[in-house]
A = this chain, B = another copy of it.
Amino acid sequence: VLTHFRLCPHSRSIRLALKECQVDVAFVEERPWEWQPEFLAMNPAGELPVLSIAGGPDVAGAYAISEYIADVTPLPEDGQSFDLFPGTATERAETRRLVDWFHGKLNREVTHDLLTEKIYARLQPVQGHTPNSEVLRAVQANLRYHLSYIGHLADQRWWLGGDRMSFADLAAGAHLSSIDYLGDVPWQDFPSAKSWYQRLKSRPSFRPILADRLAGTPPPPAYDDLDF
């Protein structure tokens, strides 16, 4: 069972990883800001996602879960599975550097604030939050920098970490899909980043993400359009 929130980018990266690795899970949705005791018992950090294995452990956080999936799923030689951290030790290090970039830096500089201002604050019991326009302007400037970095990577490599798709692409795609839901990605100015995202978005693993809807906040029409 994966405990997640549908627009949480860390949760989305694990949903994509599980699909690519062909691991079937059930889903439970949690609003981590409500600090429910049952949820804190599962993960005292109060963070999403958490993967609960039947008769086994609760694995908490995108870092532990992604490495756990890589540890327990068969190697891709069988043609059935997908390697989240493919290649040599050096290539794996590059994938992990980028995962840290997207789940750390991109999250701090864009996704976290955008979701807080536009979604999380609105779902709190205390109503009447107005998004802070100064924060949103900073987020928008930071996003352009990150799109240009993704474009720079996509100009040199077929996938962001190298020749093969990896968890770095899934982490980046998870954040961009959440940002895209809120309608703020200037794709037209970053053609290389757009063509990389178009390839990722067309994968079957992306379909459930594109079907997500949040009551009262519909996505823009291009959100689930593969030809945006």
Q: Which residues of A pack against B, CB within 8 Å?
A: 43-45, 47, 56-57, 59-61, 63-65, 67-68, 71-72, 89-90, 92-94, 96-97, 99-101, 104-105, 149
Task: Report Cα–Cα, A65/B90, bound state, in Å.
Answer: 10
Using known A-B contacts A97-B61, A100-B61, determine if residue A45 contacts B90 with beta carbons closer than 8 Å. no
State which of B60, B63, B93, B99 has its C-beta within 8 Å of the C-beta of A59. B93
Minimum CB–CB distance from A88 to chain B (whole Å) comes to 9
Q: Are A63 and B94 in contact (CB under 8 A)?
A: no
Q: Are A64 and B96 in contact (CB under 8 A)?
A: yes
Task: Report Cα–Cα, A44/B100, bound state, in Å.
Answer: 12
Q: Are A68 and B92 in contact (CB under 8 A)?
A: yes
| A47 CB contacts on chain B under 8 angstroms | 105
Using known A-B contacts A44-B149, A97-B61, determine if residue A71 contacts B92 with beta carbons closer than 8 Å. yes
Q: Are B97 and A60 in contact (CB under 8 A)?
A: yes
Considering the complex, give the chain B residue whose CB is closest to the CB of A61.
Answer: B100
Identify 8 residue pairs between A and B in the complex whose beta-carbon atoms are under 8 Å apart, listed by A's number: A45-B97, A45-B104, A63-B96, A65-B93, A67-B92, A68-B90, A71-B92, A72-B89
Minimum CB–CB distance from A14 to chain B (whole Å) comes to 13
Among A44, A68, A96, A105, max chain B CB count under 10 A is at A96
Task: Report Cα–Cα, A57/B95, bound state, in Å.
Answer: 13
Since A57-B94, A60-B97, A71-B93 are in contact, a sample of 20 more A-B pairs with Cβ atoms closer than 8 Å, ordered by chain A residue number, is: A43-B97, A45-B100, A45-B105, A57-B90, A57-B93, A59-B93, A61-B97, A61-B100, A63-B63, A63-B96, A63-B99, A64-B93, A64-B96, A64-B97, A65-B93, A67-B92, A67-B93, A68-B92, A71-B89, A71-B92
Task: Report Cα–Cα, A104/B103, bound state, in Å.
Answer: 11
Task: Report Cα–Cα, A67/B101, bound state, in Å.
Answer: 15
Minimum CB–CB distance from A156 to chain B (whole Å) comes to 13
Q: Are A64 and B100 in contact (CB under 8 A)?
A: yes
Task: Report Cα–Cα, A65/B92, bound state, in Å.
Answer: 10
Minimum CB–CB distance from A1 to chain B (whole Å) comes to 15
Minimum CB–CB distance from A81 to chain B (whole Å) comes to 15
